[in-house]
Amino acid sequence: MSNLVRKAKKIIRVVLYLRLSDEDRDKLTKEELSQSIKNQEILLRDFASEYVDWEIIAVYNDDDWSGSDATRPDFNRMIEECKNGNVDLVLCKTQSRFARDMELVEKYVHNLFLEWNVRFITVVDRIDNFKKETKKTSQILGLTDQWYLEDTSLNIRETLKGKRKDGQCTASFVPYGYIKDPENKNHLIIDPNPIAPNVVKRIYDEYLSGNGLDKIANNLNKDKILSPYEYKIMNGSKLKIPLIKEFLNLGYIEKTGTYIIDVSFTNKEDHILKDVVSFNYITTDMKTLNHKCNITLKKYTGTKTNVYYSKNENLDIDNLDLKDCILLKENDVIPKTAKVIVTYTKKLDRTHTTEYQLEVTLKENKIHDRYYVNIFRNNANGILESDFIPTIRKRFMWSEQTVKKILKDEIYIGNLVQFKTTTVSYKNHTVIKNDDEERIRKAKTHEPIMKEEIWYKVQERLKEKEKSCDNGEVHAFSNKVICTNCSQKFCKCGKNNAEGFGYLCCKDKQNKWTNCDNKKYLREDELHHFILEKLNHLLDEFYDEDNLNKKNEEFIEQDLYNDKLNSLEKELQSIDKELQSKSTYFQKLYEDRTNGILPEKEFLILINKYKDDNFRLEERAKIIKREIALTISKKESVKSKANIFKRYRHIDKLSIEIVDDFIDKILVGNYDETTGSRDIKVLWNFTI
């Protein structure tokens, strides 16, 4: 008998790819939806079981991801394994589960998979990239899938547009201070938790009292008030801004700042785990906590797990004596003398999870290989397959930009401004900012948090782009003092004295006095006393008992904006006429070129000039329209003289709020060396 050696049959390494289609979410019931992914896996496993040489080595699952999205995490992990030669066959329910984008299908199924010798099979529509006869079917399916996505995208956009015009909120996540109405998801109501609405009011109050944006943000952080993002996360929101959509990798902390480290440990053994101990280090050497960071225990699991710290770096994890450790409570700050953070769980049942959260603030800016290290004791029961998952993300604090966004948002006066941005297409998610005219604005759609007159006053100040002093405060005359020589503003300069006053000088100083000779500094305290004296004189006259009734009858609403509105509207009409004229001119140019009267070269020169002129006029028209809207809003909210005066009886010290109420501009002339004086004219917000 000959010695015959039977050659072992090659094992085909199979991976299953699962994805829940977006269209199924509309068709399936809640119960069916929860089973959809499971049913896909059961179907594919049953199919694979018919082939004895197929071995399923991995299952990739992108639940709640679009088939046109090339950034799907498990999809890309699967592709990487195929590229590295670790996969022989990819099995899907249908081709649309793999991708609904024709480019992705062509790129992988009919090109790279063949190059990598990876077979692609679908169970339902019987696509097999190793069989040429199924290629056309695959391409037709890919094309119809893509058409479906294009039609769906267009329908969604039109539906959202209609809702926005109707004043319905279509945003997935609403601005800070509001929540979606539980009875109508397209309607906003003020957050019933007073924290957020009160913080919004505080921001407006601080800004109007003279604090700069940066100082407001610092004050909020100092008072440990959660930023809008952290507040939403704390209240269960699933919002993930693009910057942190993917959590940072373990050990990634490499810059100064505050980070959140979430640690969870799940018992996946077939027995109960007892006396589970872990050592945690915020370190680079696995021995001591980094001495340039503050660590706080933010979330405490209580009865399941206790969290400690120890000043002894030579603890034995296998023979731990908790007497060497100090128990921590939630929000306790771990001292700089700590060497290690210790967790102890007396008993952890099967499938149960214990978790804790650390907040780490780093004080240095060096790149480290690894900052966070966790070591679990492999106790007598053996921790083999349990999941230890630490995730690290940046904690977002209040910033100047966040404060400014809240101050500029019309949402806080009850207006919805939507469609601020859009994307190129359902395939290209590049964000495009829409012009003011393209945005959809609807007034009075929900209850406001702020009064309109306060909001418009803030917009005027933001528009002027005031600059803060070194201490973060804005001086009382900010943007009010104007040089009569060059029409530029007088800015704060020089150091403050003991009373907090400095000097003001013409902004042309920055240009080395090339446009103005009004070089003499203006003492801020002298201007302060000059204005204060005038204001109190006006108040005394107003409250004079002999004249009070007569004056109150004479005070009527002063319209300070008619001249400005008339001027702006005339300019806008002029631009409209010029644009119409240029449109006729363009039509004539086109006809002359078509009839051979105008040579092609000259036509191109003239048409480019026409486009440049048109662009300039259209941009100016946009600016004028915004200015008209702001002026009308200010006109509607302007106070009468009586209303202003009734707020004050006597003024001891000027503030930015008081100056804003009474004064439009302060005009400052040249200093006269002979008389030792200068002309100062006050333009009031009312007629004297």
How confident is residue 378, by pLDDT bands cut at 50, 70 and 90? Answer: very low
- C-beta separation of 177 from 449 below 8 A: yes
How many CA atoms lie less than 13 Å away from 145 in the CB half-sphere? 24
pLDDT computed for residue 191 by the predictor: 93
pLDDT tens-digit readout, 205-214? 999 887 888 8
- For residue 98 the two structure tokens come to 């793999």
- C-beta separation of 170 from 164 below 8 A: yes
- Span 590-603, average pLDDT: 74
Specify the residue for token string 């800004």.
207
- Span 504-510, average pLDDT: 83
Looking at the predicted structure, is the pLDDT value of residue 431 above 70? no
pLDDT computed for residue 56 by the predictor: 93
Mean pLDDT over all residues of the chain? 78
Higher pLDDT, 419 or 552: 419
Looking at the predicted structure, is the pLDDT value of residue 555 above 60? no
DSSP string, 448-492: -SS-HHHHHHHHHHHHTT----TTSBPPTTTTTEEETTT-PBEEE
- For residue 435 the two structure tokens come to 């012009």
Phi, psi of 214 (to 5 degrees): -65, -40
The full 3-state SS of 236-300, as one line of letters, equals CCCCCCHHHCCCECCCCCCCCEEEEEEEEEECCCCCCEEEEEEEEEECCCCCCCCCCEEEEEEEC
**Secondary structure class of 528 (helix, strand, coil):** helix
Q: Strands of 387-394's sheet, edge to edge? A: 333-334, 293-299, 353-362, 257-266, 387-394
- Comparing CA positions, the residue from 337, 339, 334 lying closest to residue 358 is 334
Higher pLDDT, 209 or 487: 209
pLDDT tens-digit readout, 159-170? 778 788 888 888
In the beta sheet, which residues pair with residue 16? Answer: 59, 91
Higher pLDDT, 129 or 434: 129
How confident is residue 546, by pLDDT bands cut at 50, 70 and 90? Answer: low
Structure letter (DSSP) for residue 127: -
- C-beta separation of 20 from 35 below 8 A: no
E strand or H helix at 642 = helix 641-645
Residue 140 sits at the vertex; the CA angle it makes with 134 and 144, to the nearest 5 degrees, is 145
- C-beta separation of 74 from 41 below 8 A: no
Specify the residue for token string 């439009």.
664
pLDDT computed for residue 250 by the predictor: 42
Chain center to CA of 434: 17
Higher pLDDT, 605 or 238: 605
pLDDT computed for residue 286 by the predictor: 67
Class of domain 242-394: mainly beta
pLDDT computed for residue 255 by the predictor: 59
**Domain residue ranges in the chain:** 12-150, 178-225+399-453, 242-394, 475-558+645-684, 562-637
- Global pTM reads 0.54
How confident is residue 239, by pLDDT bands cut at 50, 70 and 90? Answer: low
How confident is residue 203, by pLDDT bands cut at 50, 70 and 90? Answer: very high
Please tell me the CATH code under which domain 12-150 is placed: 3.40.50.1390
Structure letter (DSSP) for residue 576: H
How confident is residue 688, by pLDDT bands cut at 50, 70 and 90? Answer: low
Higher pLDDT, 625 or 109: 109
- C-beta separation of 659 from 531 below 8 A: yes
- Comparing CA positions, the residue from 551, 569, 571, 553 lying closest to residue 561 is 569
How confident is residue 192, by pLDDT bands cut at 50, 70 and 90? Answer: very high
Per CATH, which fold does 178-225+399-453 belong to?
A: Hect, E3 ligase catalytic domain fold (3.90.1750)
Specify the residue for token string 């700069």.
212
Residue 598 sits at the vertex; the CA angle it makes with 596 and 602, to the nearest 5 degrees, is 140
Structure letter (DSSP) for residue 110: I
- Span 61-80, average pLDDT: 85
pLDDT computed for residue 247 by the predictor: 43
pLDDT computed for residue 376 by the predictor: 59
Phi, psi of 192 (to 5 degrees): -65, -25
Residue 596 sits at the vertex; the CA angle it makes with 594 and 599, to the nearest 5 degrees, is 100
Higher pLDDT, 456 or 635: 456
Share of the chain above pLDDT 70, in %: 80
Which residue spans within 323-379 are E strands per DSSP? 326-327, 333-334, 340-348, 353-362, 372-376
How far CA 347 is from CA of 217, 266, 270, 341, 354, in Å, comes to 44, 12, 14, 19, 10
Phi, psi of 148 (to 5 degrees): -60, -45
pLDDT computed for residue 551 by the predictor: 47
pLDDT computed for residue 285 by the predictor: 65
How confident is residue 422, by pLDDT bands cut at 50, 70 and 90? Answer: confident
Share of the chain above pLDDT 90, in %: 18
